Amino acid sequence: MTVGGTSTKKLVAEQIRVHFEGVKAVDGIDLELEHGQIMGLIGPNGAGKTTFMNAVSHFVGRTTGRIILDGVDVTKLAPHQLAARGLVRTFQDVATFPELTVFENVELGALGSGLNRRKARQRAWELIESLDLSHLAALPSSALPHGDERRVGIARAVAVNPKYLLLDEPAAGLDDDESLQLADTIAKIRDEIGCGVLLVEHDMRIIFKVCERIQVIDFGKPLAVGTPDEIRNNSSVIEAYLGVKGAETAKGHHSA
């Protein structure tokens, strides 16, 4: 169903609530992600970020709320149907197929988008070259360092040709150099395929380096939304999450 008055080229989540036996894990969050935009979703541990992403991608049931994808209400669709319409996600656990090569992992994502074998192989090679993974293409993913395995997981998701890419803590477990390399990878993906990116991440260096808009939640409720400058200067965000030192770190990476 096309939703009147809703702009196309936008992922909209309206009044998302997820309650578990009285626990309000997510309690009335709205979010708008424009096509081609990188948006950060941040907040303290237990704030409800991953639960919210699970609700948007239909991996957990919602108590209330609806999802609108490019002007179409997709609230009742299953996760694989959302993926077919361009809403693709990764998980905190990378979950590559360990015995498959890097190339085969990425090719599998391309096949999942509906491409035939020849076109899937072509798309896989293009992504592997674009993301500087060519030298790893023939290796099984189980042989990769953690940072490279995470990039392969993202490449596999991108191979599905997403309109909107949801990344759940992609920098978890990475060292400083790997984290900054990942930030560049995320920006490159957006620039090359033009998808919207929703980034759940605790590493504020990545968030403030690549995000054009940031939404903050706390205790399952919306706390603030705005530009990086607005968020790092927001007293409520500093008190609940960033702290003074974190706000200064955010300033440095956003300026860079």
Say what the pLDDT of residue 5 is: 47
Say what the pLDDT of residue 132 is: 87
List beta partners, residue 191. none
CA distance 106 to 137: 9
In a domain, 16, yes or no: no
In a domain, 186, yes or no: no
Local structure of 243: helix, strand or coil = helix
In a domain, 209, yes or no: no
In a domain, 128, yes or no: yes
In a domain, 205, yes or no: no
> What digits encode the pLDDT tens for the residues 230-252?
998 999 998 887 664 555 555 55
- Report the number of distinct structural domains present in the chain: 1
pTM to 2 decimal places = 0.88
- Mean residue pLDDT of the chain comes to 89
In a domain, 197, yes or no: no
In a domain, 51, yes or no: no
Local structure of 160: helix, strand or coil = coil
Q: What percent of the chain has pLDDT over 70?
A: 91
**Residue 103's domain spans which residues?**
97-160
> What digits encode the pLDDT tens for the residues 11-55?
999 999 999 988 999 999 999 999 999 999 999 999 999 999 999
CA distance 68 to 74: 6
DSSP H helices in the chain = 49-56, 79-84, 102-112, 117-130, 146-158, 176-193, 204-210, 228-232, 235-237, 243-255
In a domain, 219, yes or no: no
Tokens of 103: 């190339």
The length of the chain in residues reads 256
Residue 33 near residue 11 (C-beta atoms within 8 A):
yes
